[in-house]
Structure formats: C-alpha cells, structure tokens
C-alpha cells in the first residue's frame, strides 16, 4: 500500500497532486487548441441529439453533483442551452417531465451509484438521450448510457473525491465548447481563448499546488473550529459547496457552502470571532460584490480565509489569510480555486487525527439506496 501511495502519506494527497497530469490525460487527443477543435467521439457521433436538445438535464450525487453545478454555468454561458441540475435521488422519485428532445448527462466517478443509475433508466424509458461522464471504464453507468466520455483520471482510492471532480469539470467544459462551436454561441475570439486557457490549466494547477504550505499553516490555526462557512459567487458558488463537503467528509467539522450574496439571508447570523469563513474571490467574475461580502464578514469579526488571484491587494488588506491561485478566466477558475480547498481540508483532517482516506460512515461508491 505504501508503494501505491507513491510516497505520500495518504491516497487523497497523492490524488490531489496527480491533478495536473490527469487533467492533461483528460483532454489529450480531444482538445486541439492550435486547430481550434474539440474532438470527442461520444459527442461527434451523436451531434444531432445535442444540436436538437431543448435543454440538458444533469443528474449526479455528491461531488459529481457539484461538478454538474459548475457545468450548468458553463453550458448556459458557452452554448446557451438551458440546463437543470438535480440530485439523482430526487430526480428518480418525483415523476420528472422528460421527453425525447432532452439530453440527460449523468456524472459519476465510480459509474456505480445506485441513484444515478436509476435516474438514467428512468430518463431512457421516457426517450431522452443519455450521456455518461464516468471515470471507471466499463462501469454500470458507462454501459447503461447511450454514449459518454470518460474522465481518464485513473483510480481514485480516497473516499473524498478530488481528481475526479477536476477531470469531470474538464470533460464538461470541453463538451460545452464543442456545443458552442456547433451553435455559434461564442465569439470566435472567446472560443479560441477558452481552448488555449483550458490547455494551460494543468500548469496552473501545478502552481496552485504550491499553496500547500500556506494552507497547512492556515489549517493549524483553524483545526479546532467547530463550524466553517464557505462562500462564493457564480462559477465559484459550487466550489464553495465542494469545499464545505470536503471539510465535512474528512475532518467532521460542520461546514456549509453558500452563495456569497445569500449570506445575509441567514448565515450572517452565525458570524462572530469564532467563525472561519472561506471566501472564494478571484479577480474575474463578481469580484467587487465578493469584496463587499468580505467587508460584511469583517465588520462582524469573522475570520476570513480568502482564495484570491495572484497579486491581489484589495482582499489581502481585509482578510486574515490569503491563498493565491493563478489567473484564468471566470469560467475555468473552479479548476484552480478548488485546489487549496482540497489541501485545507486534508491538512485539517490530518491534524485532527482523522482517517483521511476512509472517513467514518462514508463509502467510496454508494451502490445501495
């Protein structure tokens, strides 16, 4: 097992550090930035189903559901197709309205999650075209779907999903770009810019991993916290949810992810000097709005841990701690901002003496209801 961990203390850490290379594996042979092309057999062979789609439904559970939420923002912005994202467990039991003009995308690392599999069967019965985004080759979900795209992240052993999440987002971004090209919904220059920015993501993830030391330091300050709030807006709202989930899963600290603007409708009541608040505040996106949220937290003495774009001065002046990630466009920023949040939860869990790779009560894949 020590050998399998490749020199790391835990599989989770190994998998966090694999992200630059597995994201590359995910887009290899598919992303051709120089030629301005995305080639994905599962999409290209079924292009009519996608071009006729009146909407896209996304079903998933856990971390995969968070990747689906990021995809919702990306698909709607890039390809201008309405998207609905739903927990598979809710979808399957509520007699959803589905027809043969719908495309359903099921996202699953293991390809074995019972609720996701059941949602797929239901959608197929109602005539939808079902596309899978799975990691495990030959898994039940990959066999049950009409077509799909593998994430090629390699085996993920740690129960808390890390590299599966970023590779899912990579695949979904490529699908959105492919559809944007088909529908002409992005300007030529934006389309090409996104292709080359996506190509540069692995290098930038590598740079984001250099936040390991600073996150470890921050972890030592907050390891005994009882609660933690995660806030983000737009593309980084799902990152806030995912950051909170990671912390809950492996450190057993109660954490909540919230859209930053919703803070005033509830969570703000919780803020005092005991409350660490992780705010995801990259320069692109709704930066000024997030800065005012940070001011609101500060005026209530909350402890601010901010994930910012490299070189940011404004948030640095307000926050108790800053974690810098490289710059990229708003839509691709989740691939970078999520990295320090994975590291933060990892270090906190290790410092609390938790079983990082196999947290209590959790299973890597939930094959029963």
Q: Which of 161, 212, 215, 333 binds ligand G6P (CB under 6 A)?
A: 161
Q: Strand pairing of 227-232 and 254-259?
A: parallel
Is residue 300 close enough to count as binding ligand G6P by CB under 6 A?
no
Q: Where does this chain touch ligand G6P (CB under 6 A) — which range of 39-47, 302-310, 326-334, 358-366?
A: 358-366
CB nearer to ligand G6P: give 61 or 74: 61
Tokens of 40: 């994905």
One residue of 108, 162, 170, 338 binding ligand G6P per CB under 6 A: 108
> Exposure string (b/e) for 106-129, b if CB count within 10 Å is 16 or more?
bbbbbbbbbbbbbbbebbbeeebb
CA angle 199, 316, 303 (to 5 degrees): 110
Question: What is the signed CA dihedral for 116, 117, 118, 121, rounded to 10 degrees?
Answer: 120
Whether 121 sits among the annotated catalytic residues: the reply is no
State phi, psi for 172 to the nearest 5 degrees.
-65, -35
Select from 19, 26, 110, 145 the one that contacts ligand G6P (CB under 6 A).
110
Residue 165 beta carbon to ligand G6P: minimum distance, rounded to whole angstroms: 8
Number of residues that bind ligand G6P (CB under 6 A): 15
Among 42, 62, 257, 276, binds ligand G6P (CB under 6 A): 62
Binds ligand G6P by CB under 6 A, chosen from 159, 228, 297, 332: 159
Which one of residues 38, 53, 58, 61 is an interface residue with ligand G6P (CB under 6 A)?
Answer: 61
Catalytic member of 216, 223, 310, 364: 364
Q: Does 293 bind ligand G6P (CB under 6 A)?
A: no
Binding mask of the shown chain, residues 115 to 154, with x at each position contacting ligand G6P by CB under 6 A: -x--------------------------------------
Task: Give the Cα separation of 321 and 305 in Å (integer).
Answer: 5
113 is a contact residue toward ligand G6P (CB under 6 A): yes
Beta pairing, strands 147-150 & 129-134: parallel
Give the Cα-Cα-Cα angle 348, 349, 355 (nearest 5 degrees).
165
Q: Which one of 51, 254, 362, 367 is in contact with ligand G6P (CB under 6 A)? A: 362
Contact between 365 and ligand G6P per CB under 6 A: yes
Closest C-alpha among 95, 94, 104 to residue 127: 104
Give the span between the Cα atoms of 110 and 234, in whole angstroms.
28
Q: Which of 74, 62, 234 is nearest to 164 (CA)?
A: 62
Query: Considering the rule CB under 6 A, would residue 251 count as an interface residue with ligand G6P?
Result: no
CB of 99 to ligand G6P, least distance (A): 25
Angle ∠(107,125,367) on CA atoms, nearest 5: 45
Q: Which residues are catalytic?
A: 364
Binding site for ligand G6P (CB under 6 A): 61-64, 108-110, 113, 116, 159, 161, 362, 364-366
């Amino acid at each position: 097992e020590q050998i399998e961990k490749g020199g790391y203390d835990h599989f989770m850490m190994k998998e966090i550090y694999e992200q630059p290379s597995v994201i590359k594996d995910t887009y290899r042979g598919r992303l051709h930035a120089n030629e301005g092309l995305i080639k994905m057999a599962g999409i290209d062979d079924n292009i009519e189903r996608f071009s006729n789609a009146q909407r896209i439904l996304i079903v998933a559970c856990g971390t995969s559901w968070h990747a689906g939420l990021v995809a919702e923002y990306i698909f709607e912005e890039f390809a201008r197709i309405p998207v609905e994202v739903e927990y598979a467990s809710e979808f399957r039991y509520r007699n959803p309205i589905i027809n043969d003009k719908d495309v359903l995308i099921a996202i699953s690392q293991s390809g074995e999650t019972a609720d996701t599999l059941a949602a797929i069967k239901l959608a197929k019965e109602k005539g939808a075209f079902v596309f899978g985004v799975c990691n495990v080759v030959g898994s039940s979900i990959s066999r049950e779907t009409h077509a799909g795209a593998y994430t090629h992240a390699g085996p993920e052993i740690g129960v808390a999903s890390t590299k599966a999440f970023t590779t899912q987002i990579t695949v979904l971004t490529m699908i959105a770009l492919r559809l944007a090209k088909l529908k002409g919904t992005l300007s030529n220059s934006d389309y090409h810019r996104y292709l080359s920015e996506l190509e540069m993501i692995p290098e930038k993830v590598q740079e984001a991993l250099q936040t390991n030391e600073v996150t470890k330091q921050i972890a030592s300050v907050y390891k005994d916290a009882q609660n933690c709030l995660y806030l983000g807006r737009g593309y980084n709202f799902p990152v806030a949810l995912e950051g909170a989930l990671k912390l809950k899963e492996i450190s057993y600290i109660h954490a909540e992810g919230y859209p930053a603007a919703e803070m005033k409708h509830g969570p703000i009541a919780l803020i005092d000097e005991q409350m660490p608040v992780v705010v995801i505040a990259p320069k692109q996106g709704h930066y000024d709005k997030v800065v005012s949220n940070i001011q609101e937290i500060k005026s209530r003495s909350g402890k601010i841990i901010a994930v910012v774009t490299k070189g940011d001065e404004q948030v640095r002046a307000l926050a108790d701690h800053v974690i810098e990630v490289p710059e990229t466009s708003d839509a691709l920023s989740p691939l970078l901002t999520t990295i320090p949040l994975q590291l933060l939860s990892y270090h906190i869990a290790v410092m609390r003496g938790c079983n990082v790779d196999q947290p209590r009560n959790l299973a890597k894949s939930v094959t029963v209801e």
